[in-house]
Structure 1
Amino acid sequence: MKTDTLFYRLFQRKPALALELLGLPYRNDSYRFGSEEIKQTAFRIDGLFTPITDDLELPVIFAEVQYQADIDFYDRLFSEITLYLRLHKPGRSWLALVIYPDRRTEKAASIEFVPFMNLPQLHRVYLEDYQNQSGLTPTLELIRLIASHKQQTITLARELSGRRDEIGMECLDFIETILVYKLPHLSREEIKAMLALNDIELKQTRFYQEIAEEERQEGLQEGRKEGRKEGRKEECVALLTRQLRRKFGVQPQLETALQRLPELPLERLEDLADALLDFTKTDELHEWLQGMPDLNKRA
């Protein structure tokens, strides 16, 4: 399971997840989550929450999900943070959120960086602490689901699904996402059946709402979409183009890659819709396209 990818995907769609872990009272729409590459170095800030308001009380938040033991982790983290602050000068305070599966995974910082470990800005979260907690908010229930053992995951997911009126459709959508990551041997149809979702509820999830919105914007009817494969392909290319531009911004390298999308068959475009969720830079999109035999034969 690519747990760091799962967390970063949830952070993008629900910044409140990090805010609640940190115990911060700020609104969910106060932050934008992304990554930041520090130019002319080998450093990259994988998780960065930047305030989207002028309120200087809101700190910059650095987020890292560390599932592998790494003796150099804190050396690298504090170096990245201090260099980012030096180059960008955000003019506000900062916090660092580090998420571990358990305390055994955490390794001590080297002696040069030990003083940083006592900073109040450093917040460590151990998912094992949430496994048996009760009375959590719907957002933190997602943390408990991620932290649960595999044999507990299905039971807890069904329990949360039964509270759908309380937790809302957005959390239900996240539950499905978490199960896809944690139980890769199950198909999406099996997961949907496990959560006892009906067609009406499925159409309330984020994925189905985005498709419905695209259909309304382009004036397509559901029957025509299902009946004409070419129309479905054009719609898929348009949706992927918007998603990729929203993810990476308009840039020449991305536009070059987007010109190749119409060459892909519909099945490959659907595969790309899943793959792009894990992309963090446009180079990964180019690598994915290079691996497509349909394109390479035309080259």
Structure 2
Amino acid sequence: MRRDSLFYQLFAQLPQTLFDLLGREAPQGYRFESVELKQTAFRIDGVFMPPDPSGIVYFCEVQFQRDNSFYERFFAEIFLYLRLYRHTFSDWQAVVIYPHRQAEQVSFDPYEVLVNSHRLHRVYLNELGSLEGLPLSLALMQLTVLPEAEMPTVARLLAERTRTEAVPRPEVIIELITTIVLYKFTELSREEVLRMLGFTTEELKRTRFYRDVYAEVREEVYAEVREEVLQQGLQEGLQQGLQEGLQQGLQQGLQQGLQQGLQQGLQQGEALVVLRQLRRRFGELPAGLEERIRQLPVHEIEALAEALLDFTDLEEVFAWLNRSS
């Protein structure tokens, strides 16, 4: 993952980050987008658009490598945007984020007036100050430029701040911290990083990663057992139907057998999915619990499969079954 992708996620999830950089109260209603100016194939990393035409539009670029033609390109993109969308704002500001001053181009000619004007704000991440005193959004930015040796300790401190501070949507912070650390430690899996950072089970369950894994496991189990169980249920139903068909008529028996087989196969398949999920999470299951789940109708088995995401032990499974009955 490229570093600008990390910042795109940060701005998209926490748009107040830009205003934290500027030391301003975050206005309401701003939308963040990455805008492509198709006429010239220019793309601005981020555009913070005001909710109405009387507001200020903010342009934001993340520049981690020195480019001695950067300002030439950046101002060209800005002025093309101003020309195309002039009716959507009343004024403009620009922000460039550098890891340090050495990444900035050497000469500003012929854009020195604009570079040194109030319209451009240059941010150097290594000069923002102590991580402990920064808003979490800016601390996440600094995390991207830390040496590998320092990153796990600092990332754990930021994770701890999500627990002790009044943070809106802490699961977003957890996801961003994890993604930034993964960018450095490419040999680790996302789950290993989450564990390394000391996130609790409850915090893990709120992340997009946990839910994606849950969905993946569920689909895997379904694919593995559904066809086999449906076939088995169909055969059993057909056999029973054929036996009844000897007494009631072959045609009626075949129809009933097919219908009954499909219903039994679906019910058994759903039950096996839930039992497989429970064994993966809690180990061997009591025989009585398995039998209760196998006897549930299909709609209750499907509801139990969804509820499993929030269970932390088998007692909660029993409690759910008792409530359902």
Quote the sequence identity (%). 43
**Distance in 2, Cα, partners of 1:199 & 1:133:** 26
The range that moved more, 125-134 or 82-91, is 125-134
Indicate the residue corresponding to 2:318 in structure 1: none
The answer to whether structure 1 residue 172 and structure 2 residue 170 are counterparts is no
Indicate the residue corresponding to 1:200 in structure 2: 202
Structure 2: gaps spanning 5 or more residues: 227-325
The answer to whether structure 1 residue 83 and structure 2 residue 77 are counterparts is no
Give the C-alpha shift of residue 162 in structure 1. 2.8
Contact 1:101 1:126 (8 Å CA) reproduced: yes
**Distance in 1, Cα, partners of 2:224 & 2:60:** 42
Contact 2:98 2:122 (8 Å CA) reproduced: yes
User: Residues 116 and 200 from structure 1, CA distance in 2 versus in 1: closer, same or farther, beyond 3 angstroms?
Assistant: same
Contact 1:97 1:123 (8 Å CA) reproduced: yes
Give the C-alpha shift of residue 154 in structure 1. 0.7
User: 1:80-119 alignment to 2 at 5 Å?
Assistant: 80-89=77-86, 90-119=88-117
User: 1:178-189 alignment to 2 at 5 Å?
Assistant: 178-189=180-191
Give the C-alpha shift of residue 80 in structure 1. 1.0
Q: Deviations over 1:51-102 (max 9, x none)?
A: 2x22723x11111111111110001111111111012103321111101111
SS in structure 2 opposite 1:191?
A: helix
Indicate the residue corresponding to 1:47 in structure 2: 46
Contact 1:74 1:109 (8 Å CA) reproduced: no
**Distance in 1, Cα, partners of 2:109 & 2:53:** 36
The answer to whether structure 1 residue 151 and structure 2 residue 149 are counterparts is yes
TM-score by length of 1: 0.66
User: 1:239-258 alignment to 2 at 5 Å?
Assistant: none
Indicate the residue corresponding to 2:127 in structure 1: 129
Contact 1:33 1:48 (8 Å CA) reproduced: yes
**Distance in 1, Cα, partners of 2:41 & 2:171:** 40
User: Residues 103 and 223 from structure 1, CA distance in 2 versus in 1: closer, same or farther, beyond 3 angstroms?
Assistant: closer
Higher-Rg structure is 2
User: 1:30-69 alignment to 2 at 5 Å?
Assistant: 30-51=29-50, 53-54=51-52, 56-57=54-55, 59-69=56-66
User: Residues 96 and 156 from structure 1, CA distance in 2 versus in 1: closer, same or farther, beyond 3 angstroms?
Assistant: same
Give the C-alpha shift of residue 194 in structure 1. 0.5
Indicate the residue corresponding to 1:236 in structure 2: none
User: Residues 31 and 182 from structure 1, CA distance in 2 versus in 1: closer, same or farther, beyond 3 angstroms?
Assistant: farther
**Distance in 2, Cα, partners of 1:207 & 1:189:** 8
User: Residues 186 and 211 from structure 1, CA distance in 2 versus in 1: closer, same or farther, beyond 3 angstroms?
Assistant: closer
TM-score by length of 2: 0.61
The residue type equivalent to 1:137 in the other structure is: P
SS in structure 2 opposite 1:148?
A: coil
Q: Deviations over 1:114-153 (max 9, x none)?
A: 2111220101111111364432222222123223221110
SS in structure 2 opposite 1:36?
A: strand
Structure 1: gaps spanning 5 or more residues: 216-221, 233-299
The range that moved more, 182-191 or 67-76, is 182-191
Indicate the residue corresponding to 1:10 in structure 2: 10
Query: What is the Cα-based RMSD across aligned positions, in Å?
Result: 2.7
Q: How many pairs align?
A: 221
Q: Deviations over 1:130-186 (max 9, x none)?
A: 364432222222123223221110111122223331243332222111111222122
Q: Which has the higher contact order (CA 8 A, sep 6+)?
A: 1
Contact 1:61 1:94 (8 Å CA) reproduced: yes
